[in-house]
Chains A and B, each alone.
Chain A
Amino acid sequence: MNTFFTNMTLGTMVRRKALALLMLFAPVSAFVSAQTLNVKVGEVTYAHMAEQTGDMLFDNGSTLTVQGKTYQLAEVTSVTVNNNRVADNTIAVNYQGAKAQVTVAGNLAQHVTVSAVGADVRVVADSTYMGAIAYTLTGSSADGSFYMDGDAKASITLDNLSLTSAKDGAITIDDGKKIDVNLVGTNVLADAATGLQSACLYINGHVDLLGEGTLAIKGNCRHAYSSDEYTRMVSGTLTVESAKADGVHVKQYFEMCGGTLTVNSEGDGIDVGAKKKGCDNNGQLILNGGVVAVTATGEGAKAIKADSTITMTGGTVTGKTTGSAYFDATVNDIGGVSSLKAGGKFLMKGGSLSLTSTGPGAKGINADGDIVIDNGQLSVVTTGDLYVYNALDTKPHAVNTDGTITINGGTLFVAASSVGRALSTDFAFLVNGGTLMGIGGKKSEPTGGTQKYKVYKAQNIKAGATAAYDGVSFTIPAIYNNSKAQVLVSKAGM
C-alpha cells in the first residue's frame, strides 16, 4: 500500500478507492467517447457516429446495414473504428491527383449515392432527404471533377481546391435549390477544352457566393461560370481568367453586393438572361457594391449585359471591350458591341462606373429602355471607327438608347470617337442636375431639363490634357483624341 493510503480509516479508504476507480474510468471513458465506425467502399468512406448506429445488422453473410444504409460486404474495403468525428449532414471530398477520397456523414449514408471513379466524384441525394448538405472540396487534381444533384439546398465550400477536368466541367451542381458557395483560401478551376458542359463551374440553383477566399476559373470550352437562376456575389474574390464564351452567364439575375469580380472573356463578360419568367428581377443586373472589372475581347462581345434593367447603386465597376461590331447573318443585321448593354433601362443611383470600348462600331452604354442617372461617377469612352457592312452601319456612340436620357445628378464624363455622339437618343434628352461633360465628333444637345448647358464646337481634345469649360473640368483619358470635337457641358449654377 502506498503512502497515499496511510493513516486512513477503513471507511475513508473505501471512499478513496471508489474515487480512484472512477478517476481511472473517467479518462478512459472520455478517450473513447467519440468512436466513429468508418465503412470504406472504394474511395468513399461513410462515417457513422457510434452513438447513432444502434444495432448494425448482418444479413445472410452478405450485407451489413448501418443507419439505414445497406452495404454489400463484397464491396466493402474495410470497416475501421477511430475517434475522428464527422459532423452530421456533411460530405467532404479530398482530391489527391488521380483519385479522390470522399467522406460521407453517417446520417446521410442512406440518402446519397456516391461514386468516385478516379478523381471524378458524383453525389446524388435522393428526394427523401430534404435537409441541407454541406459539401467541402479540398485538394488538387489535374483530371478530376465534381457533380452533385439533389432536391435540397446545399453549401459548397471550396477550401484551397485546385481542380481541372480533362473531359468535362470542373464542378457541376444540378440541384436547382439554394446553393451557398463558400470560398476559403486559394481555389482554381479549369474545364476541358471540349465537352458538353455549359460552364467550368455550373450551378443550377439560387447561388450566393460567400467567404473571404479566392476562386480563379478558366472556361476553356464555353462559359467560365454559369447559373440557371440567380447569383448574388456577397464577398470573396472571383476571377475569370479566361472564357471562350461568357465569363459569368446567369439566367435569372445577377446581384453584386460585395467582394471582387474580375472577368476576362472572349464572349460577354457578365451576361444576364431573362429565362425565368415570373421570377424576381428576371433578366436584371444589380450592382450594389464590391469591385467589378470586366474585359471582353470577342467580336460582338459586351462587357456587362442584361436582357432587362441594369441598376447601379454602389460599388466600383470597370468595363472594357476591344472587339468589333459584326454582321449577324442569322438576323440579317449588325450585331452590336458595347461595354454595357441593357435590354431594358439603365438606372444609375450611385457608385463608380468606368467604361471603355475601342472596336469599330463599339458603343459605351447601349440601352433599349430609358437611361436615368441620379448620382454616382460615370466615365464612358469610345474610340472606334464607324462599322459598315454593305448598306448597314453602326456608330460608336458613348451613350445610346432607344428610350429617353435623363440626368438628375452625378458626375459624368462621356466621350465618343470622332464618328459618334456623346449621348444619342431619338427621344427626350433631359438634364436636370449633375456635372456633365460630353464629347463627340457629332453634337449632343439636351432637348430639355431644368439645368443649363453649353455646347462648344470644333474643339481640339488631346489625350492627357485637362479639358475645362465653364467650371466643368476633366482629364482626358490617354486613349482619347478628337481634333474636331463637339463638347457639351452642364453643371449646377451655370
Chain B
Amino acid sequence: MLLAAGCLMALAAHADGAYSYLTFTHNNLAEQSFSAADLTITFENGQAVVAQNGNKTTLALDDLQKMRFTAEPAGVEEVVAEANGPLTVVSLSGQRVGTFKDKATMERSLKKGLYVVKTAGKTYKYEAR
C-alpha cells in the first residue's frame, strides 16, 4: 500500500513536470547533467559557461548536440567503490554541500539523505544512511 502510494506520488510529481536536471548531450552522445535549480548559462568564445552556486563548468559549444530537462541526472548510479578522487556533493535542490578527497571521507561527513555526487568523469546518486 505504501509502495503504491509512493508510485502515485512519483507519477504525480512526474506529471507535474519534475524537471530537476538540465542534461546536455555531447556529440559523442555522452550526457552531462546539472541540477536545474538556479542554473545560469552564458555563451562566450565558443563555449557555454554553466554556473551554479559559485561553480562554473565550461562546455565547448561545437561539441554540444542538445540539452533537455530530465527528472534524474544522466548516468546516475549508486556510488561504487572505485569512485575515488575529489567528490563534489550537491543536494537534490542543487545546493553545494562540499568536496571530499575520497569516498570514505564523504561517507563520514554527510548527514542522512540523498545527494548527487560528481566525480571527474561521472555523476552518481548517493544515499547517506
Residue of A nearest to B40 (CB): A80
Residues facing A in B1-42 (CB within 8 A) are: 2-3, 5-6, 9-10, 13-14, 16-20, 22, 36-42
Whether the Cβ atoms of A19 and B40 lie closer than 8 Å is no
Q: How far is the CA of A53 from the CA of B127 in the complex (A)?
A: 30
In the complex, what residues of A have CB within 8 A of residue B43's CB?
73-74, 76
Whether the Cβ atoms of A22 and B19 lie closer than 8 Å is no
Q: How far is the CA of A429 from the CA of B113 in the complex (A)?
A: 93
B58 within 8 A of A: no
Main secondary structure of the interface of B (DSSP, over half): mixed
A117 within 8 A of B: no
B114 within 8 A of A: yes
Residue of A nearest to B17 (CB): A51
Whether the Cβ atoms of A56 and B66 lie closer than 8 Å is yes
Whether the Cβ atoms of B19 and A50 lie closer than 8 Å is yes
In the complex, what residues of B have CB within 8 A of residue A53's CB?
68-69
A454 within 8 A of B: no
B93 within 8 A of A: yes
In the complex, what residues of A have CB within 8 A of residue B2's CB?
15, 18-19, 22
Residue of A nearest to B7 (CB): A22
Given known contacts A29-B13, A29-B16, A32-B36, A81 and B66 CB-to-CB distance under 8 angstroms: no
Given known contacts A32-B36, A61-B46, A56 and B67 CB-to-CB distance under 8 angstroms: yes
A24 within 8 A of B: yes
A28 within 8 A of B: yes
Whether the Cβ atoms of A33 and B17 lie closer than 8 Å is yes
Q: What distance in Å separates the Cβ of A25 from its nearest Cβ neighbour in chain B?
A: 7
Q: How far is the CA of A235 from the CA of B9 in the complex (A)?
A: 46
A54 within 8 A of B: yes
Whether the Cβ atoms of A79 and B40 lie closer than 8 Å is yes
A460 within 8 A of B: no
In the complex, what residues of B have CB within 8 A of residue A19's CB?
2, 6
B61 within 8 A of A: yes
Whether the Cβ atoms of B61 and A58 lie closer than 8 Å is yes
Q: What distance in Å separates the Cβ of B90 from its nearest Cβ neighbour in chain A?
A: 12
Partner of A81, one of B6, B37, B64: B37
Count residues of chain B with CB under 8 A from any CB of chain A.
38
A9 within 8 A of B: no
Residue of B nearest to A51 (CB): B17
B57 within 8 A of A: no
Whether the Cβ atoms of A25 and B10 lie closer than 8 Å is yes
In the complex, what residues of A have CB within 8 A of residue B93's CB?
28, 31-32
Q: How far is the CA of A24 from the CA of B40 in the complex (A)?
A: 26
Partner of B69, one of A35, A58, A76: A35
B79 within 8 A of A: no
A55 within 8 A of B: yes
In the complex, what residues of B have CB within 8 A of residue A55's CB?
66-68
Q: What distance in Å separates the Cβ of B72 from its nearest Cβ neighbour in chain A?
A: 11
In the complex, what residues of B have CB within 8 A of residue A56's CB?
66-68
Q: What distance in Å separates the Cβ of A69 from its nearest Cβ neighbour in chain B?
A: 14
A475 within 8 A of B: no
B92 within 8 A of A: yes
Partner of A78, one of B9, B40, B69, B114: B40
Residues facing B in A1-57 (CB within 8 A) are: 15, 18-19, 21-22, 24-26, 28-35, 37, 49-51, 53-57
Q: What distance in Å separates the Cβ of A77 from its nearest Cβ neighbour in chain B?
A: 8
A332 within 8 A of B: no
Whether the Cβ atoms of B65 and A58 lie closer than 8 Å is yes
Q: A-facing mask of B41-62, CB < 8 A → 1, else 0? A: 1110010000000000000111
In the complex, what residues of B have CB within 8 A of residue A466's CB?
none
Q: How far is the CA of A21 from the CA of B112 in the complex (A)?
A: 11
Q: B-facing mask of A185-207, CB < 8 A → 1, else 0? A: 00000000000000000000000
Residue of A nearest to B42 (CB): A78
In the complex, what residues of A have CB within 8 A of residue B10's CB?
22, 25, 29
Given known contacts A18-B2, A18-B3, A58 and B17 CB-to-CB distance under 8 angstroms: no
Whether the Cβ atoms of B18 and A32 lie closer than 8 Å is yes
Q: How far is the CA of A37 from the CA of B21 in the complex (A)?
A: 11
Whether the Cβ atoms of B20 and A28 lie closer than 8 Å is yes
Residue of B nearest to A73 (CB): B43
Partner of A61, one of B5, B64, B69: B64
Q: B-facing mask of A52-88, CB < 8 A → 1, else 0? A: 0111111011100000000001101111111000000
Whether the Cβ atoms of A32 and B67 lie closer than 8 Å is no
Partner of A79, one of B6, B41, B62, B65: B41
Residue of A nearest to B37 (CB): A32
Q: A-facing mask of B92-110, CB < 8 A → 1, else 0? A: 1100000000000000000
Q: How far is the CA of A412 from the CA of B93 in the complex (A)?
A: 75
Q: What distance in Å separates the Cβ of B128 from its nearest Cβ neighbour in chain A?
A: 11
Q: How far is the CA of A35 from the CA of B9 in the complex (A)?
A: 18
Q: How far is the CA of A29 from the CA of B17 in the complex (A)?
A: 9
In the complex, what residues of A have CB within 8 A of residue B41's CB?
78-80
Residue of A nearest to B60 (CB): A61
Residue of A nearest to B25 (CB): A55
In the complex, what residues of B have CB within 8 A of residue A81's CB?
22, 36-40
**Interface residues of A, Cβ cutoff 8 Å to B:** 15, 18-19, 21-22, 24-26, 28-35, 37, 49-51, 53-58, 60-62, 73-74, 76-82
CB-based closest 7 A-B pairs: A29-B13, A61-B62, A61-B61, A50-B19, A51-B17, A22-B6, A79-B41
Given contacts A15-B3, A34-B16, A73-B43, list 9 more A-B pairs with CB under 8 A. A25-B9, A31-B93, A33-B19, A51-B17, A51-B19, A61-B62, A74-B43, A78-B40, A80-B40
7 A-B residue pairs with CB within 8 Å: A22-B5, A25-B9, A25-B114, A32-B36, A35-B37, A37-B22, A61-B64
